[in-house]
Amino acid sequence: MAEKGPAMTAFSLEPAQLAWCADLRALAAERLRPLAEKGEPGRVNRALVAELGSLGLLGRLFTSGALDLCLMRESLAYACTEAETALALQGLGAHPVHAHGTESQRARWLPRVADGSAVAAFALSEPGAGSDAAALDLTAAPDGPARWRLTGEKCWISNAPEADFYAVFARTTPGAGARGVTAFLVPADRPGLTGAGLDMLSPHPIGALGFDAVPVTADDVLGEVDRGFRVAMGTLNLFRPSVGAFAVGMARAALDATLAHTAGRDAFGGKLRDLQAVSHQVAEMALRTEAARLMVYAAAAAYDEDAPDVPQRAAMAKLLATETAQYVVDTAVQLHGARALQHGHLLEHLYREVRAPRIYEGASEVQRGIIAKELYTAHQEAR
């Protein structure tokens, strides 16, 4: 019998992993959800971030692989989406520093991200460059040797304008597309940096940033000048499968709520589950959720093994999982009826939460484009 390799975790979790996931769900329900409920909508919940740090979960962002990141995000999302989002945003904003930062940058910021005392943000999107990330207009104009001034806007930036630092992507070479973008670590107290919150469908901390000749130097560069697009895409390749894990966590919560409701609800002389139309919908919800979970785990395992098809797998995982979660939550609302539309109901909360992941970190249409590009490239290389 062949020895079991690491890729098997994409299909069957080990008992220790299952136990860890159960512990995370319990922590999310017992310790994190009460803090989340005390938070102010649309604002960074620093008490929640600090608790994630004290539990050691933020520190794991820098020591765990992609599969562990997915397990954390799925488990937290099941019981407390706010905790999941707070953890994910710390990871997204800090990963460019962890992966590409200098020793000085890492020493200054990563310990504070890990203990929850500093809030990170990933500043890529702009008013005219959302899905087309290579079309960035934020300008890094030369201001002497190894110095630049950042001028322009960023929009729909999670944790803005309250983050303590931003991984900012700006154009250093005009007309060069993706090859002329540089990543900078910009502390929030830099002169000329301003921001304002945005009122969104789901009340997460999201805002716009204004850059009025914000000074940066070579000491602020993440990676190499004009190679910042690689920093951005490398970060997204890691986090896209885990966006799928977030979606799977929400889908599983909606599925479990639906099982409980349809098993206990009296209707038409029996229980809702006795109606074939209902039971078949529940079966479809479970089928799609499990398929999405397996694809997410497989993409994460591929990332951890440094497989060559990570971009395609990551795109597939995010696409399938986020579209699946939208279907599952919507179906759960339908099967619950009007009660699920009441403010404060789990499904009312999930219905608002589930929509955004189909857009951020690459909309579903972008993921289909990535998949098609990777498929045709592989086909051409095989000829």
The residues annotated as belonging to the active site are: 361
Tokens 């970190």 sit on residue: 361
If you compute the radius of gyration of the chain from its CA atoms, what whole number of angstroms results?
21
Which pairing describes strands 221-222 and 181-187: parallel, antiparallel, or unpaired?
antiparallel
Q: How many CB atoms lie within 10 A of CB 338?
A: 8
Q: How many CA atoms lie within 13 A of 342 on its CB side?
A: 6
**Which residues, in sequence order, are CB contacts of 113 under 8 Å at separation 6+?**
58, 61, 90, 93, 94, 97, 120
DSSP output for 34-102: HHHHHSPTTS--HHHHHHHHHTTTTGGGGTS-HHHHHHHHHHHHHH-HHHHHHHHHHHHHHHHHHHH--
Burial class (CB in 10 A: 0-12, 13-18, 19+), 268: exposed
Three-state SS at 196 = strand
Say how far apart CA 151 and CA 358 lie, in whole Å. Answer: 30
Distances (CA, A) of 382 to 140, 377, 378: 40, 9, 6
Tokens at 356, concatenated: 């955004």
Q: Strand runs (DSSP E) across the chain, as ranges?
A: 120-123, 139-142, 147-158, 165-171, 181-187, 193-197, 206-217, 221-222, 266-267, 270-271
DSSP code, position 10? G
Q: How many CB atoms lie within 10 A of CB 7?
A: 14
Structural contact between residues 126 and 153, judged by C-beta atoms closer than 8 angstroms: yes
Instruction: Identify the CA nearest to 157 among candidates 116, 114, 186.
Output: 186
